[in-house]
Structure 1
Amino acid sequence: MTRSWNVPPSETADSTTAATTVRGPSRRFLRTADGVRIDARYEPATASYGTGTPPGGHPQAPLAIVVAHGFTGDLDRPHVRRVAGVLARYGAVVTFSFRGHGASGGRSTVGDREIHDVTAAVAWARELGHTRVATVGFSMGGSVVLRHAALHGREPRARTDAVVSVSAPARWYYRGTAPMRRLHWLVTRPAGRLVGRYGFRTRIHHREWDPVPLSPVEAVPRIAPTPLLIVHGDRDAYFPLDHPRMLAEAAGDHGELWLEPGMGHAEHAVGEDLLHRIGRWVAGAAG
């Protein structure tokens, strides 16, 4: 069962905070490079492999896992907390709400400027003393962790040691499924953005991308040699199997592809067994 703490957001932390060691859960606002306040939560590792000790044999393992949720999610959603609870058996976990989601500031750019949000979360994990940091993203978050690893993954504070992308698109502007056509209406129409704001607690930016950001499939070749895992369900109603296969082909020998039978889309569809498999992969790849 996922453990949770009622820890209120505290003062804003910027990217210059000195490295510290956190023994318990913590929640605070982070400030991104472009000035947006991001609601973030830290949970120490619990236990791994049934031993009661995280990988590495020390109660405060060096590994932290940054979880990037999908569009219209936030760090307090039950499915995000479930993911965090399982992954905490393999390392400390940082969850956060993307801009325009939950208690975070700003407005969603649906995968463009969200790269700064991931950068802030990874930097916070390193500021807390973690020497190994992996990112695990779902759907929109899956596309963002790919772009983050390609564009910022070698910077000292924002460096990633392993990347997992679950249920991510390979290319932008895809409208080939009914759920994606509905999502485009939500993002591009004033009435849709109202539905997003009041129905999904997601504030969506009205401006179109300019310039169009690097696509996930263009980003993937730049991630090497960082270990990369692509996970996708064969019953994903949003993105059919040509998306993960394009990403895997672009990754070449440095990427690994898991096509999961019977799995649907993103956090809601990821079972506990698969989350444990992902956790073991991350602990091995980033450890």
Structure 2
Amino acid sequence: MGAILAEVSLRLYRRPLGDPAPYRAAIQRLHATIEDVSVAAADGASLKAWFVQPEHPNGRSVVILHGVTDNRLGASGFSAMFLNKGYAVLLPDSRAHGLSGGSIATYGVLEREDVHRWAQWLRTRAPGCTYLLGESMGAAIGLQAEPVTPQLCAAAVESPYSTFRAISYERLGRGAHTGALFWRTLGRPIIEFAILYTQLRYGVQLPNANPEAAVMSAATPTLLIAGDKDVDIPMHHAQELERLCASHCALWIVPGAAHGEASLVAHAEFENRVIGWFESHDDAPAP
């Protein structure tokens, strides 16, 4: 059971990218340009992305990270609010997602360095501040990338989990209708074997997917966003993270928002808060 759980968690469904024509048409209406780009990960995996340049760039850029089993197209809806303000936008496919290489997803263990490489690449195209917006798994990856990505001036993350272990107990408890307590106690040997199996077979230690440790070791100004109706990653994860990084983090709880719905429930406020957060942490003046 532990081996099966490990394989199911690592080898995720790879959602097809879908038809990008509507998104490309929307970019054209904004008089922006879109480019297919790639970088090589530390392990040689080819990481793919879209780089979108606004008509009147301000020198700043935003990396937008999608959630689990999604891809860049699923996160592309956030583009317009940044392009309209002059920010360049990078939409990467996470490893083992979309068109990016990599055989397994590691929830931040390898992805944090992938984000670092994208941030380095962005500085060659947009010399001002680099920001990050992440959702769900992308939020957790973004937090874990902060200690290794000093180029980030600020980040905004929606529905992040606190640790891989904590969210594993809760997600398995919800999916199996057993509750998280079962997986913290009687079911824990299954999880521990899955972790050991992953380490022995793939050389990846999943407990190192730990946003809590990351926010304590980084000082990146971070806006934590959570919906009070989120049952996939309950808001207590964001609250726990905020307690650990209160010196450089802020927390926004969105009433009525389920998982990843903050921008739907409070669209105007979401845009104002995120862009306002970025603009208040601009350590690299735009050209």
Distance 1:207 1:180 in 2: 27
Unaligned runs of 5+ in 1: 7-22, 47-58, 190-205
Q: TM-score w.r.t. structure 1 length?
A: 0.72
Counterpart secondary structure, 2:102: coil
Distance 1:228 1:3 in 2: 32
The corresponding residue for 2:278 is 282
Equivalent of 2:211, from 210, 216, 224?
216
Q: Is the 8 A contact 2:33 2:54 kept in 1?
A: no
What are the residue-to-residue correspondences of 1:1-287 with 2, within 5 Å? 4-5=23-24, 24-45=33-54, 59-77=56-74, 80-90=75-85, 91-107=87-103, 108-150=105-147, 152-154=148-150, 159-173=151-165, 174=167, 175-177=169-171, 181=175, 207=202, 209-210=204-205, 212-213=207-208, 215-224=210-219, 226-266=220-260, 269-271=262-264, 272-277=267-272, 278-286=274-282
The count of residues paired between Structure 1 and Structure 2 equals 229
User: Structure 1's 105 and 274: CA in aligned 2 closer, same or farther, altered over 3 A?
Assistant: farther
Counterpart of 1:31, as a letter, is A
Root-mean-square deviation (Å): 2.7
Q: Deviations over 1:166-221 (max 9, x none)?
A: 10001212222568647x9xxx99xxxxxxxxxxxxxxxx8484263151111112
Distance 2:62 2:117 in 1: 13
Distance 1:257 1:149 in 2: 17
Counterpart secondary structure, 1:25: strand
Distance 1:89 1:181 in 2: 40
Q: Is the 8 A contact 1:65 1:92 kept in 2?
A: yes
Distance 1:178 1:213 in 2: 19
Q: Is the 8 A contact 2:106 2:209 kept in 1?
A: no
Name which one, 1 or 2, has greater alpha-carbon Rg: 2
Counterpart of 1:270, as a letter, is S
How big is the shift at 1:3? Answer: 7.2
Counterpart secondary structure, 2:155: strand
User: Structure 1's 142 and 283: CA in aligned 2 closer, same or farther, altered over 3 A?
Assistant: same
Q: Percent identity?
A: 22
Unaligned runs of 5+ in 2: 1-20, 26-31, 177-182, 184-189, 192-200
Distance 2:57 2:48 in 1: 23
Counterpart secondary structure, 1:76: helix
Distance 1:239 1:211 in 2: 18
Report the more deviating stretch, 211-220 or 256-265: 211-220
Counterpart secondary structure, 2:156: strand
How big is the shift at 1:40? Answer: 0.7
User: Structure 1's 211 and 99: CA in aligned 2 closer, same or farther, altered over 3 A?
Assistant: closer
The structure that is helix-richer by fraction is 2
Counterpart secondary structure, 2:42: coil
Q: Deviations over 1:81-119 (max 9, x none)?
A: 111222322311101100111111112123321112211
Q: Is the 8 A contact 2:159 2:235 kept in 1?
A: no
Distance 1:143 1:181 in 2: 21
Counterpart secondary structure, 1:252: coil
Q: Deviations over 1:9-44 (max 9, x none)?
A: xxxxxxxxxxxxxx8321122211221111111112
Distance 1:133 1:26 in 2: 18
Counterpart of 1:251, as a letter, is C
Distance 1:179 1:75 in 2: 29
Q: Deviations over 1:231-265 (max 9, x none)?
A: 11111111222211110000022111101101111
